[in-house]
Structure 1
Amino acid sequence: MKKHGAILVVDDHRGVLSAVSLLLRPYFEQVITLPSPVRIDETLRNHRPDCVLLDMNFSAGINNGNEGLYWLAHIKRMNPDMPVVLFTAYADIDLAVRGIQQGASDFIVKPWENARLVDTVLKASSRTKRASSADNGMFWGESDAMKRLRDMVERVAPTDANVLITGENGTGKEVLAREIHGLSGRRDKPMYTVDMGSVTETLFESELFGHVKGAFTHAVTDRQGKFEAAEGSTLFMDEIGNLPPHLQSKLLVTLQNREVVRVGSNKPVKVDIRLICATNRNLDAMTGDGRFREDLLYRINTIHLQLPPLRERREDIVPLARIFMARFARQYDRPVTETGGDVERLLLSHSWPGNIRELQHVVEKAVILSDGERLDPRHFSLAGPRPSDLTGDRMETLEDMERHMIAKAVGDCGGNLSAVASKLGITRQTLYNKLKKYGL
């Protein structure tokens, strides 16, 4: 029987986690368990499960199911296509109906019937695979640059060669990585992701290589790192240029020896992974001034794929906008089905410093604001104010001003986020959070 990829089970009862994990292992490559919902965001980003099995109650003495409904809504905001099966000890039909009305796929009552639970989560997982393949795949478009890139990907993907993807922020580097994984011989296992831009430097080593109990404060159990978790699959390291120098050496040794050593241990563990890295930084320049090891660059750069910015593939702007329009019309239950020539001219006139991510954000907002079957220019907000506009009736909000300033800095610095952060006088992590906030 072919297994599904991964399922996330969130329940504050460790006995339940153990029992469900044991029950589902024959059906899933990975069963991820969380005793608390506080790490849901991180887990969804890093593991991309096919389904979530979510308990309704997490606080002692509170059994009204509101926590489960809160986290259900939170998951749906992060990923509207993620199937969530609710898990409760109280056979409350009203609560079940509320959960399903708010986006849950189904409802399981404790104590559960094994066959019913397995059948429910397998059906939910099958739905997410169909949705993800239809809606979230790579859009190649018609530009010459993307046609050349697609040809290269189709030749490279079936191999185990390490790949370095470069491109400005928002060009779709993770989407391309998933396309490569999906065309590889490792596609039956989930791709694992570690975002080096969002992990604090003190946690880099544990996140990548794992740790043993007692290795440092709060290391209360042994923990796998991403290299071990991705055994037999693909590991995608985004923002590889953020890797500190002392960990660059350890990563190089790991790739050379095909083994990892957990923090606090001397025992090497063999690993078999295919590595895909991505960055919007100039690694050649970083090797020139000693910020990135040249020998590590050679190791991760067996194949180099460059994603062009959206302004260099203008023939793809309108088709991409239509794809996003259809997706968000379904998500928000809007009747939008078309755009006019005036909207298309507006989209084509914009420079898109935030690339595809900015386009997606702009179209999503337009669909939300729409009031009929047709989008028109008044639904779009493409740029913040110019300095000359910040008076009288043209005064915008502080958020508009901040978004405009960040977008301009990204364009001025060619997508180099370290330079953008320095130019704006903020930390790289703060910049990263604001880019996500504004869809840049």
Structure 2
Amino acid sequence: MVRPKILLVDDEENIIKQMRWALETDYDVLSASSEAEAMTLFDRAKPSVVTLDLSLNPHDTADLGGMRLLEQMLSQSPLTRVIMITGSDDEANALRAIRLGAVDYYCKPIRLEELKVIIKRAFHIQQLQQRAQEKEQAALDAFQGIVGASKAMRDIFRFIQRVAASDISVLICGESGTGKEVAANAVHQQSPRKNNPFIVVNCGAIPENLLESELFGHEKGAFTGAHAQKRGKFELAHTGTLFLDEIGELAPSLQVKLLRFLQDRKIERVGGTQPIELDVRIIAATNRNLQKDIKNHVFREDLYYRLKVVPLDMPPLRERRDDIIPLAQHFLRKFCQEYRKPPMTLSPEAEGALLMHPWPGNVRELENLISRSVVLSARSILKPSDLGFALDQIPTDVNLKFARKAIEKDFVQKALHRNYGIVSRAARELGISRVNLYELINKYEIHVKEFKAMRTAGKLSMKRREAV
């Protein structure tokens, strides 16, 4: 059986020997006495837990090499759990270490039984986070980055699986920011064309006078500045998929050329006379009401029905509130890793604020909000203020079902926290049966062991204070 790895970093040889003796029966113990040696071992062995002495310079205790290592290690591996160890009771450095991502801060002299409990808890937290990340990654791999467990999204997943195997055209409709391009890419990745090109064209972002050449290519000399032949996006997508975003912005003349391709699967380059036969699947998307555009003679009806062989409507985020917290947690993990920051979580109050926000900008708005919060917040547990919410900004007309869920989860977590994970006591405090409390714990995927571990850590902290 492979034992979990722990790296001990301290410049005092006696402490390393003492800790190694206490830990080597349960863990694969590595040790280092300098910054350079520690980083070499860390890069090579990738330990799950690290204990770091705050100062690694015996000649200058003000040189906080351990703090530098903490930043370097967590920037490379945010899931690593780091325990800072120091010979001084310096609250400022303790707070700084916790803000940088340390899981605990322990003052010497070392009491081995206490430290072993803290290390065991650090491994437990690391394994929980690792499993959560692996579970999420498996779900993302299944549908190419689409996050969602609501009924609306499960229906979309089933739709994608059914439609992907064919080559028929798909029209994806939905508000801005609902994930239309992600859905189009999922259709492509689930299809037999997945190893061939997936070409994206935003029809609203390219000037009309350039879009024809961009889509269909041009021959040399076709117009001023056409110094060489150029293949367009249609040709680049041969044997693959062409995704035409904002199809409602397409000029009438280009609507005609697209319709002609959908009818006979041939194009002509600008300035060309020879038809080019292509094998391209078309997926289009729009946030416009194309039926209204047809009535206003802005969009061709025959093209609309050619594209809408299979329609897919992406629901706005306000209609899939069950996905808001999973999406927020996914973006937290994504941006913590991208910006090399320690893992962050959402407080129950922050989850409630997210659930009650109307999300006019949909998933894109949520993604940008979480990205900004990860960059600006110094906390590991985000509050509503970290997300940019003030109490008077939270709407009162939110669906009662979701407000109740946020409050209910908060009450359960706080009761478990106050009672250190003892379910019978928490149930008595909440005025419900143990069976009902266990149902709520399972419903909200609350890990009772974490609250029990806090009880042990609290006792140890009390003992340390008494010893001092």
Q: Which residue of 2 aligns with 1:175?
A: 182
Q: CA deviation at 1:218?
A: 1.2
Correspondence list, 1:302-341, <5 A: 302-341=309-348
- Return the match for 1:252 from 224, 240, 259: 259
TM-score calculated relative to the size of structure 1: 0.56
Partner Cα distance (1:207, 1:372) in 2: 47
- Return the match for 1:381 from 366, 385, 388: 388
Are residues 1:227 and 2:234 paired?
A: yes
Q: Which residue of 2 aligns with 1:395?
A: none
Q: CA deviation at 1:204?
A: 1.3
Cα deviations across residues 163-190 of structure 1 (Å, max 9, x unaligned)?
0000000000000000000000100112
Correspondence list, 1:271-286, <5 A: 271-286=278-293
Are residues 1:161 and 2:168 paired?
A: yes
- Confirm or deny: 8 A CA contact 1:192 1:235 kept in the other structure: yes
Are residues 1:350 and 2:357 paired?
A: yes
Q: Which residue of 2 aligns with 1:202?
A: 209
Partner Cα distance (2:191, 2:141) in 1: 18
- Confirm or deny: 8 A CA contact 1:140 1:150 kept in the other structure: no
TM-aligned CA distance change 1:371 to 1:134, over 3 Å: farther
Q: CA deviation at 1:298?
A: 1.0
Partner Cα distance (1:250, 1:167) in 2: 25
Partner Cα distance (2:221, 2:285) in 1: 33
Q: Which residue of 2 aligns with 1:93?
A: none
- Confirm or deny: 8 A CA contact 2:217 2:269 kept in the other structure: yes
Partner Cα distance (2:335, 2:257) in 1: 43
Partner Cα distance (1:289, 1:360) in 2: 35
In structure 2, the gaps of 5 or more residues are 1-136, 394-468
Aligned partner of residue 200 in structure 2, secondary structure: strand
- Confirm or deny: 8 A CA contact 1:167 1:307 kept in the other structure: yes
Partner Cα distance (1:245, 1:218) in 2: 25
- Return the match for 1:290 from 297, 310, 313: 297
TM-aligned CA distance change 1:374 to 1:135, over 3 Å: farther
Correspondence list, 1:69-108, <5 A: none
- Stretch of structure 1 that moved more, 364-373 or 319-328: 364-373
Partner Cα distance (2:192, 2:186) in 1: 12
Correspondence list, 1:364-375, <5 A: 364-375=371-382
Aligned partner of residue 358 in structure 2, secondary structure: coil
- Stretch of structure 1 that moved more, 369-378 or 178-187: 369-378
Q: CA deviation at 1:250?
A: 1.1
Q: CA deviation at 1:239?
A: 0.2
Q: CA deviation at 1:337?
A: 2.8
TM-aligned CA distance change 1:289 to 1:272, over 3 Å: same
Q: CA deviation at 1:261?
A: 0.3
Partner Cα distance (2:280, 2:331) in 1: 33
Larger CA Rg, structure 1 vs 2:
2
Letter of the 1:290 partner, please give it. H
Cα deviations across residues 244-300 of structure 1 (Å, max 9, x unaligned)?
011111111111111110001111111100000000001111111211111111111
Partner Cα distance (2:171, 2:236) in 1: 21
Letter of the 2:149 partner, please give it. E
Q: CA RMSD in A?
A: 2.2
Q: CA deviation at 1:378?
A: 2.1
Aligned partner of residue 372 in structure 1, secondary structure: coil
TM-aligned CA distance change 1:332 to 1:131, over 3 Å: farther
> How many residues were matched structurally?
256
- Stretch of structure 1 that moved more, 175-184 or 370-379: 370-379
- Confirm or deny: 8 A CA contact 2:332 2:370 kept in the other structure: yes
- Confirm or deny: 8 A CA contact 2:169 2:306 kept in the other structure: yes
In structure 1, the gaps of 5 or more residues are 1-129, 387-440
Correspondence list, 1:58-77, <5 A: none
Partner Cα distance (2:140, 2:348) in 1: 30
Q: Which residue of 2 aligns with 1:184?
A: 191
Q: Which residue of 2 aligns with 1:266?
A: 273
TM-aligned CA distance change 1:284 to 1:357, over 3 Å: same
Partner Cα distance (1:382, 1:190) in 2: 42
Identity %: 46
Partner Cα distance (1:367, 1:171) in 2: 22
- Confirm or deny: 8 A CA contact 2:197 2:238 kept in the other structure: no
- Confirm or deny: 8 A CA contact 2:146 2:182 kept in the other structure: no
Letter of the 1:232 partner, please give it. T
- Confirm or deny: 8 A CA contact 1:140 1:147 kept in the other structure: no
- Which stretches of structure 1, 4 residues or longer, exceed 2 Å deviation after superposition? 130-140
Partner Cα distance (1:361, 1:204) in 2: 29
Correspondence list, 1:35-46, <5 A: none
Q: Which residue of 1 aligns with 2:446?
A: none
Are residues 1:137 and 2:144 paired?
A: yes
Partner Cα distance (2:174, 2:201) in 1: 18
Q: CA deviation at 1:349?
A: 1.4
Partner Cα distance (1:372, 1:293) in 2: 53
TM-score calculated relative to the size of structure 2: 0.53
- Confirm or deny: 8 A CA contact 1:335 1:372 kept in the other structure: no
TM-aligned CA distance change 1:131 to 1:243, over 3 Å: farther
Partner Cα distance (1:161, 1:288) in 2: 26
- Confirm or deny: 8 A CA contact 2:146 2:183 kept in the other structure: no
Letter of the 2:251 partner, please give it. P
Letter of the 1:345 partner, please give it. G
Aligned partner of residue 137 in structure 1, secondary structure: coil
Cα deviations across residues 55-78 of structure 1 (Å, max 9, x unaligned)?
xxxxxxxxxxxxxxxxxxxxxxxx
- Return the match for 1:361 from 353, 356, 368: 368
Letter of the 1:195 partner, please give it. N
Letter of the 1:281 partner, please give it. R
- Return the match for 2:245 from 238, 241, 261: 238
Partner Cα distance (1:357, 1:199) in 2: 21
Letter of the 1:193 partner, please give it. V
Q: CA deviation at 1:136?
A: 9.1
- Confirm or deny: 8 A CA contact 2:217 2:231 kept in the other structure: yes
Partner Cα distance (1:191, 1:333) in 2: 30
